[in-house]
Structure 1
Amino acid sequence: MNWLQEQTRRHFFRNCGVGIGKIALASLLAQSSEALAEEPSPFTPKPTHFPAKAKRVIYLFMAGAPSQLELFDYKPKLAEMEGKPIPPSVIDGQRYAFIQPDAAVLGPRFKFARHGQCGAELSEMLPGLSKVVDDIAIVRSVYTDHFNHSPAQLFCNTGNGVPGRPSMGSWLSYGLGNEADDLPSFVVLKSGGSLSGGAAMWNAGFLPSVHQGVPFRGLGDPILHVSNPPGYDQRAQRDSLDLIRHLNGKQLEEIGDPEIRTRMEAYEMAFRMQSRAPELMDYSQESQETLDLYGADPKDPKSEFATNCLMARRLAERGVRFVQVYHAGWDHHSNVEGGIRSQAKQTDQACAALVEDLRRRGMLDDTLIVWGGEFGRTPMVEASAALGRSKGRDHHPQAFSMWMAGGGIKPGLSFGKTDELGFNVVENKVHVHDVQATILKCLGIDHSKLTFRHRGLNFKLTGVEEHHPIEELLV
């Protein structure tokens, strides 16, 4: 009673207003929690902006930056100028990681020849790809904004050179959902060593973490700690998960944190994967002819990339939306000839086999394959002409090559052109964001409309600048 006598009119309305506000807020939170509890799974397939040509993507990312001049972009002029300093006018004002101002020109280290009905010119280091060249589209005019590995790898994978942005696979999982209910929508396969961009390349960033990439292993259990420990059977696990789901559901109703739903979905996905994983890893289902086609031996770590390509096809068959296959080891600052020879031996057969295998199975028309690194390589060596040639190439963001095949892509096409030294793009420039917009369009997504509200801004994979799908590549 004394407390009421001490309240002024102003104090009464202030406290009453806060009290009414609390009641209203509690009501809204309750409604929000109920909505969260009832909303469909984040992996439920979602409609596209327009009819999609591709249902899924397999991205073969060659980390370290393959030399386009040894693989896809033949420049006889470099052979003529080998050992001579690059003209100062060519490199004036340019920034490089290691190169010297008087660096000498280095000619192509391998022979090139035309292949297929399309007549595309390829290096002798790509005998496998030359057999399927009529199924792929080669883009020789890609450029990027970054000239160091980590930011450039992040830029290709997330659309930004700074860690913390959602990866392309996460965007697709968020925007399209998943076709499989017992496998993740976004799977990561790795070989060849460490990656400069690290796990940030398959992170979900500010998207719900349920959409981040799930790394699989090529040998043993595909995912660590998915198998039950001895003495713990499936019934006991199901009972435990039901109890945990009930408790998490109660917390979701009270708090409304969407990350609780992510945790619930993760538990259920892991449970479903336990029954799928043994079948997924059972390569005895594959014919010896198929294993030989890829050059894969699932028990041999030396064929890890080939096995990963075969695994990518198996994941695609089972409805996984985005499979990211990373292969490191393409960073050739010295001995580019030996480095390319080694990496091509490890990867060329399996890359070509993936195209061939998908085509045989009738899956190439709705599966998009993308191949490429984070940037290209310079036409000159790193060391100065006076010091002799290192026979290695520096980082080169101004021009590099990629290829694409399958869902939505014109086969047998060569697109874009660089100058006679392979230094600058002179025809049909293609920015990395244009490549990303093209991938999204093949999947039926308008890249400008796939957005997520974060910190008051609508973020998207392709950034704020104006970029467009490469319409000339699309069927």
Structure 2
Amino acid sequence: MLNDDLLRPTVSPLSRRQMLLQAGNGFGYLALAGLLGQQAQAATAGAVAGGVTAPAPGYASPLAAKQPHFPARAKRVIFLFMQGAPSHLDTFDYKPKLATLSGPAGGKGKLLPSPFKFKQHGKSGHWISELFPNVAQQADKLCMLHGMHTDNPAHPQATIQLHTGSVNFVRPSVGAWVLYGLGTQNENLPGYITINPPTGLGGAQNFGSAFLPATFQGTRIDATDRNIADIRNNFLTGTQQRKQLDLIQQMNRDLLRKSGPNEQLDGVIESYELGFRMQGAVPKLMDISDEKPETLAMYGADSGMTQTFGRQCLLARRFAEAGVRFIEVCFQGWDQHQALKAKLTQNCGSTDKPIAALLTDLEQRGLLKDTLVIWGGEFGRTPSGQNGDGRNHNNRGYTMWMAGGGVKGGTSWGATDETGGTAVENKTHVHDLHATTLALLGLDHEKLTFKYAGRNFRLTDVYGNVVKQIMA
């Protein structure tokens, strides 16, 4: 949501709310676009329905496409965030010792063997649980990160660190840094979209821009099993809307000339322009009725328990294909302190088919080679049981995986100990994950900085090592 105080230039005689009121009801959708996230695209400041006018003198979009620091392996990211921390021990980190060593575990409970069968798949021989039969068929595309660890075993802190790199301070999200570093690929769409993000656990902080210009924050979409409503303004023609917007933008640019560089006002200008253009692009892009029945069936987007997440994964592919730089899809509900067998079966049953379809679809369309797909939660689960059939939080060792986008498919990096409780080999911290993600996009995490409060900040703070061993 826009904050009037943050967006109001210090020399402005009008507040944003006053400008919106003067613009009339026809400007309502443009405000909505701002509320959705202030994502501006690489467009000049005078886009007109059916054409583009000359940019305003001296104005350049802060979201114009930029060159990476070095040749990139990936152009975009799709992050499949499994909020709640899925159990690595029951999905992708096979630990047969749990069955043979079942007994006291540090005095805090008994080791809980996985109730699910594991099997090796593909030429890689990845051990994958029976919970993911469809993802298992994609085994040779996956790069397993078995040595993941993070700083805090609490959901809010770990979720925020996974998304921003920091536990203690408000920092820009990963997607905001990516957009800041690379700019946009489509002037009519947000460069950073988050689908169904959690409302708690940091909320908007997980896709916010913090001290980066508001232009770079994520656009939130609460997509369920329905297509987005028609957001076009049906009361005014495109020409009439353009005239209204031109008046407001003239006022904004006058203020910009008077105030000098003003990132907040840049964000307002960009969000209004994007809102105008999105009216034509977004409804069509989010209307999946033009997809072939076999595509909908492949994603499980047509019916059943896979329908909601299947549609979201399909939207992620459509957004990626249309040029969105960073896309996150969140599936919530993996915090299984009890009834793990039943709940994990349900969660995996809802996500397995859509995830496998996304990888297949991206590959068939020639997009997987430059789309980095990341799967995982904020931490893992304990080898010891809890509440009978359940597992507690574990930040000391867990699994995430990557696919496409320049990583070596069919490989593994890192390992946990024999019971899966602690990362012991080639450990990968969240800072390392961020550094590696940026490197695959052609960005040096030590050079991607923004000066704030007198010093240069970066996503990885003073930490992070690129895991070059997983790069193709």
SS in 1 for 2:243: helix
Other structure's SS at 2:456 match: strand
2:300 is aligned with 1:280 = no
Name the Cα RMSD after superposition.
1.9
> In the alignment, which residue of structure 1 is the partner of 2:468?
471
Partner of 1:108: 114
Question: Following the alignment from structure 1 to structure 2, what is the Cα–Cα distance between the partners of residues 258 and 376?
Answer: 39
Which letter maps to 1:455? Answer: A
Q: How big is the shift at 1:421? A: 1.0
CA contact (8 A) 1:137 1:409 kept: yes
Q: From 141, 146, 150, give the equivalent of 1:140.
A: 146
Post-superposition shift, 1:131? 0.7
More displaced 10-residue stretch of structure 1: 250-259 or 372-381: 250-259
Q: CA deviation at 1:221?
A: 6.2
Secondary structure of the residue that 1:239 maps to in structure 2? helix
TM-score (norm 1): 0.84
Structure 1's 375 and 349: CA in aligned 2 closer, same or farther, altered over 3 A? same
Write out per-residue CA displacement over residues 342-386 of structure 1, whole angstroms, 9 at most, x where no aligned residue.
10011111111111100000111111100010001000123xxxx
The secondary structure found in structure 2 opposite 1:379 is strand
Aligned twin of 1:375: 379
- 1:197 Cα shift? 3.0
Between Structure 1 and Structure 2, the one with more helix by share is: 1
Conservation of the 8 A alpha-carbon contact between 1:333 and 1:394: yes
Q: Are the structure 2 counterparts of residues 240 and 41 from structure 1 closer, same or farther at C-alpha, using a change threshold of 3 Å?
A: same
Moved segments of 4+, more than 6 Å: 299-302
Partner in structure 2 of residue 239 of structure 1: 243
Number of residue pairs aligned between Structure 1 and Structure 2: 416
Q: In the alignment, which of 381, 386, 390 is matched to residue 392 of structure 1?
A: 390
Measured at CA, do residues 279 and 245 of structure 1 come closer, stay the same or move farther in structure 2, by a change above 3 Å? same
Distance 1:302 1:322 in 2: 23
Q: Look up the match of 1:334.
A: 338
1:305-320 maps to which residues of 2 (within 5 A)?
305-320=309-324
Structure-2 residue corresponding to 1:120: 126
1:234 Cα deviation after fit: 2.0
Partner of residue 86, structure 2: 66
- Separation of aligned partners in 1, 2:355 and 2:324: 19
2:60 counterpart of 1:49:
no
User: Is the 2:306–2:353 Cα contact (8 Å) retained in structure 1?
Assistant: no
Aligned with 2:204 (options 181, 199, 203)? 199
Q: Which amino acid aligns with 1:259?
A: Q
User: Does residue 1:187 correspond to 2:184, yes or no?
Assistant: no
Structure 2 equivalent of residue 32 of structure 1: none
Q: How far is the alpha carbon of 1:277 from its aligned partner?
A: 1.5
SS of aligned partner of 1:306: helix
Q: Distance in 1 between matches of 2:308 and 2:204?
A: 19
Unaligned runs of 5+ in 1: 1-25, 27-35, 89-100, 383-388
Contact 1:149/1:197 (CA < 8 Å) preserved in 2? no
Distance, in Å, in 1 between the alignment partners of 2:299 and 2:372 is 18
Q: Which runs of 5+ in 2 are unaligned?
A: 1-10, 12-55
Q: 2:453 aligns with which of 455, 462, 466?
A: 455
CA contact (8 A) 1:65 1:373 kept: yes
Please tell me the residue identity of whatever aligns with 1:468. Answer: N
**1:130 and 2:132 matched:** no
What does 1:291-302 align with in structure 2 at a 5 Å threshold? 291-297=296-302
Q: Which AA in structure 2 matches 1:43?
A: L
1:350 counterpart residue number: 354
CA distance in 1, matches of 2:84, 2:422: 20
1:166 and 2:183 correspond: no
